[in-house]
Structure 1
Amino acid sequence: MPTVDDDLPSELGPEEFSAWVFGASGPRAEDGLVLAPFRGVRFVPDVAGDLASVTTPPYDLIDDDAVRRLLASGGHNVVRLILPRPAEQGYREAGETLRRWLAEGALATDAEPALYVYEAAERGQVRQRGLIGGLGLRAEADAVVLPHENVFPGPVRDRLALMSAARANLEPIFLVYEGGGDAARIVDEAAAATPLLEFHADDGLTHRLWQITDPGLHDRIAADLRDRQALIADGHHRYATYRALQARHHAAGDGPGPWDQGLALLVDSTRYPPRLGAIHRVLPGLPPTTALDRAGTVFRVTEMAGLAAATEALAAAEGPAFLLGGSGSLHLLTDPDPGRLEQAMPAEHSARWRGLDTAVLDHLLIAGLWNIPEDEHSVEVVHDDPAAAVDRARRTGGTAVLLNPLKVEDVLAIAGEGERVPRKSTSFGPKPRTGLVLRLLEGP
């Protein structure tokens, strides 16, 4: 394993950093895909309050206004643990808050190690159901846990500081695998019983949780998963943080321990196919007229009358296509000049990768025609909601770029060949609710 100092190697770019953090080999107790039982930490509603009010979406889907509102409201909302403010002081306070809530009884540790069945349903229809457990951490070369996006040092450093101070995994990452075996049957059988908890949240979903504590069922699940391969659907930076934390402990001579696993939701995609949404871009520093003028030198430009008609036209377009917004009108970009497109795309990538809309956006438009650096400040992202992206662009005087979602088969094929789709290409969902179950990195 590499040595991890207090600071991660920030001098590396995203490709080199991702290769470093995902690729390092390390000790493991077992081969294959492992999802281990653990003693979960859960909110106690009688003390903490209604579960809908103390749980949240994943940390990177909560905007600053919502964070400020939740922090100002008091109470036991999990945002106090996952997004403390100010960050540097708040990391330590988050750990102290977690232990105080445990001491006060707002959080409690389950009596037995368990795998947890999690379900998200909408109007009575199950949209997602899977297993929450401790995911065995593996090097990418083992072809067991596959990332499909690169990561940046900054967000990993942020999550590593928080995870180290809290000594806990505070929210699960989300993985999918092609199953259809014994584990899927056990999950569905468990979900036929009365849930451990159930509530309806402001995301429009009903969230439910069950426990599987029977060691015999744990063994059957382990046997079914052992030869499977899982794709990280959401949570690349947190998985990278798991790997960095593991490396830090082993470099310190700590040996095997809870840091060799990370909290994860594993969903059988053959039984419960994920929804893959688009991640739109907002470029605050790029005026819409400049964006359109430069794009028009390479793309066919069609002015659109309204957002509904424009998004329909975008969905129907063949080949790379984008919708520009931010001023009073919307413009559809299609049919890029083949010569300019080939010239802009990196030759070292596969043809499938070079055809991805997000790859064309990054290389031909953002870096090429618009000459904008690809970082968190110059290029903002909005998950799924095209109207929100256009509104944000209008407020900042910038440009919104709306995209079609990638195809699941393209993401799987690219990850299987050892490539990664461009950053923020995929929005798999529905994402697991944060605060349903936490995992301590020490004895309860």
Structure 2
Amino acid sequence: MAEIKPLRAWRYHSKFTPEIDSLTSPLFDVVSKKQREALYQNPLNSIHLSVPRGEEPAQNAATLLHEWKRDQVLHQDELPAIYVYYQHFQLAGSNKAYVRKGFLCHIKAYDWDEKILLRHENTIPDAVNDRIELLEKTLLNSSATHGLYADPDFRLEQFMDEAMLDPVYETEDYQGARDVLAIIQDARVIEQFISVLKEKQVLLADGHHRYEGSLEYRKKMMAANPHHTGNEAYNYHLMYLTNSESDDLRILPTHRLLEKLPIPKEDFLQKLEQFFVVTPKEDPFELNEVIAGKPWAFGLYLDGQAYKLRLKPEVHGMIDWETTPEVKELDLTVLHFFVFEKVLGIASEAQRNYPGLSYVRNFTECISKVDTHAAEAAFITNEVSMEQVKKVCYSGAIMPQKSTFFYPKVICGFVFSSIKEEEFARETDPGF
């Protein structure tokens, strides 16, 4: 099944460890414009590699990476390692403390039809192209994608807990989570990680665009290399792996904002009633509560008026998209089929890149955007469960884009992984 390898990570030089707080950054697809501009003010922040600026951003990142290596801003660890990464966090409105336990490693960039690494979401093409170009220019994974493996026996947690007794980094990130990194270089222990993953399929939780960037780059290099063996550095990708059986794995809802309705508001509300029970609500800030736990239920905030939408069960069978029963059962499939396609007239494929359609995790932000006329309509959703993610992945189908928000997000800046041949860790390295 899944082949993983330790890596010789590039990390900030030890002299920068006391200021690691100021060097980390959010992932490219969640960093806000305001956060981005603030981070750019620090010339050594990791955002210059993960979300580069300028007319030729990918080339700028490659040039900067060369300078940072030359000037010892970054250095490469001598031995291949597994990098243990814990995130301590709480959820809004709760005092429960969570610890998501995982580790960073290289994993082979498997094609989807190999059924070893399974996806659950569609991607947005422009974002994939951006990631491919950045990888081609830098040959660097500046941030890890997030994968899930199922191990009900929790065989690796004992090794990770032991490594965490001597962490190398500890910081509080932009989400309020406490991020801690530790290193395992013991070859015998690393073999345990490799052995457990050999039995597993991996579900891609987060980072579909970055993973597809690695996948497309691998295909390009394979086509250009008549002596391809499968062991070249370009075959591998940086991934953060966590155990899907843990209770500390949280998925938050991702709401939809529509900048402008393509049909008049009155027509929109009238057409909704063909498929939904539409109930006006007094307070928009209660929308997430009135739909909580109810299947095929959504909040709608439109022009200062809140509504609860509940699909009429008898119309559910109208969903004629070519997908599996597991996907048809999802709330977001119902939303995208009945609201976006049937009512608004936006075809399935067009939804992936529809102008003015955005995806927002913060409920309050959705209400604010409509109140300030930055958007005309907000669609409030329930979260997808881990069980639903598994069912969809194992069915071989995919969810609508931006269906899940695994929380907290991995941060950039702790570990960078190179796919340059001369910098890539191999089994022939000392200890392997």
TM-score (norm 1): 0.86
Matched letter for residue 79 of structure 1: I
Query: Is the contact made by 1:283 and 1:393 (CA closer than 8 Å) also made in structure 2?
Result: no
What RMSD, in angstroms, separates the aligned Cα atoms of the two structures? Answer: 2.1
Measured after TM superposition, the shift of residue 263 of structure 1 is 0.3
Corresponding residue for 1:350?
Answer: 324
Corresponding residue for 2:70?
Answer: 103
Measured after TM superposition, the shift of residue 64 of structure 1 is 2.7
Measured after TM superposition, the shift of residue 289 of structure 1 is 5.2
Corresponding residue for 2:13?
Answer: 44
1:422 aligns with 2:400: yes
Corresponding residue for 1:60?
Answer: 29
1:74 aligns with 2:74: no
Aligned counterparts of 2:68 and 2:270: Cα–Cα separation in 1 = 56
User: Residue 432 and residue 272 in structure 1: after superposition, are their counterparts in 2 closer, same or farther (change >3 A)?
Assistant: farther
Measured after TM superposition, the shift of residue 245 of structure 1 is 0.9
Matched letter for residue 332 of structure 1: K
Query: Is the contact made by 1:42 and 1:436 (CA closer than 8 Å) also made in structure 2?
Result: yes
Aligned counterparts of 2:269 and 2:11: Cα–Cα separation in 1 = 50
Corresponding residue for 1:333?
Answer: 309
Query: Is the contact made by 1:279 and 1:383 (CA closer than 8 Å) also made in structure 2?
Result: yes
Aligned counterparts of 1:234 and 1:291: Cα–Cα separation in 2 = 33
Measured after TM superposition, the shift of residue 55 of structure 1 is 1.0
1:371 aligns with 2:345: yes
1:91 aligns with 2:91: no
- Picking from 212, 224, 238, the partner of 1:252 is 224
Matched letter for residue 231 of structure 1: L
Q: Which moved more, 1:262-271 or 1:45-54?
A: 45-54
Measured after TM superposition, the shift of residue 298 of structure 1 is 2.4
Matched letter for residue 74 of structure 1: N
1:388 aligns with 2:365: yes
Instruction: Give the secondary structure class of the aligned counterpart of 1:135.
Output: strand
Aligned counterparts of 2:53 and 2:267: Cα–Cα separation in 1 = 37
1:234 aligns with 2:203: no
Corresponding residue for 1:184?
Answer: 157
Query: Is the contact made by 1:353 and 1:359 (CA closer than 8 Å) also made in structure 2?
Result: yes
1:411 aligns with 2:389: yes
Matched letter for residue 259 of structure 1: Y
Matched letter for residue 166 of structure 1: T
Identity of aligned residues (%): 24
1:282 aligns with 2:257: yes
Aligned counterparts of 2:217 and 2:187: Cα–Cα separation in 1 = 28
User: Residue 226 and residue 322 in structure 1: after superposition, are their counterparts in 2 closer, same or farther (change >3 A)?
Assistant: same
Instruction: Give the secondary structure class of the aligned counterpart of 1:61.
Output: coil
- Picking from 271, 274, 279, the partner of 1:294 is 271
Q: List aligned pairs for 1:95-134, cutoff 5 A.
A: 95-122=62-89, 125-134=97-106
User: Residue 380 and residue 143 in structure 1: after superposition, are their counterparts in 2 closer, same or farther (change >3 A)?
Assistant: same
Matched letter for residue 323 of structure 2: H
1:46-66 deviations in Å (ceiling 9; x for gaps): 348722222112110012333
TM-score (norm 2): 0.88
Measured after TM superposition, the shift of residue 134 of structure 1 is 0.2
1:13-33 deviations in Å (ceiling 9; x for gaps): xxxxxxxxxxxxxxxxxxx21
Measured after TM superposition, the shift of residue 283 of structure 1 is 0.8
User: Residue 379 and residue 416 in structure 1: after superposition, are their counterparts in 2 closer, same or farther (change >3 A)?
Assistant: farther
Q: How many residues align?
A: 407
Corresponding residue for 2:93?
Answer: none
Matched letter for residue 48 of structure 2: R
Aligned counterparts of 1:387 and 1:288: Cα–Cα separation in 2 = 22
Q: List aligned pairs for 1:14-25, cutoff 5 A.
A: none
Instruction: Give the secondary structure class of the aligned counterpart of 2:352.
Output: coil
Q: Which moved more, 1:117-126 or 1:107-116?
A: 117-126
Instruction: Give the secondary structure class of the aligned counterpart of 2:402.
Output: coil
Measured after TM superposition, the shift of residue 347 of structure 1 is 5.3
Corresponding residue for 1:10?
Answer: none
**Unpaired runs of 5+ in structure 1?**
1-31
Aligned counterparts of 2:13 and 2:355: Cα–Cα separation in 1 = 42
Corresponding residue for 1:431?
Answer: 409
Matched letter for residue 58 of structure 1: L
Corresponding residue for 2:4?
Answer: 35
Measured after TM superposition, the shift of residue 326 of structure 1 is 4.0
Aligned counterparts of 1:402 and 1:393: Cα–Cα separation in 2 = 12
Measured after TM superposition, the shift of residue 237 of structure 1 is 1.1
Corresponding residue for 1:198?
Answer: 170
User: Residue 379 and residue 188 in structure 1: after superposition, are their counterparts in 2 closer, same or farther (change >3 A)?
Assistant: farther
Q: Which moved more, 1:124-133 or 1:204-213?
A: 124-133
1:150-169 deviations in Å (ceiling 9; x for gaps): 22332111100011111111
Instruction: Give the secondary structure class of the aligned counterpart of 2:29.
Output: helix
Matched letter for residue 33 of structure 2: D
Query: Is the contact made by 1:130 and 1:266 (CA closer than 8 Å) also made in structure 2?
Result: yes
Aligned counterparts of 1:322 and 1:145: Cα–Cα separation in 2 = 31
User: Residue 298 and residue 357 in structure 1: after superposition, are their counterparts in 2 closer, same or farther (change >3 A)?
Assistant: same
1:314 aligns with 2:294: no
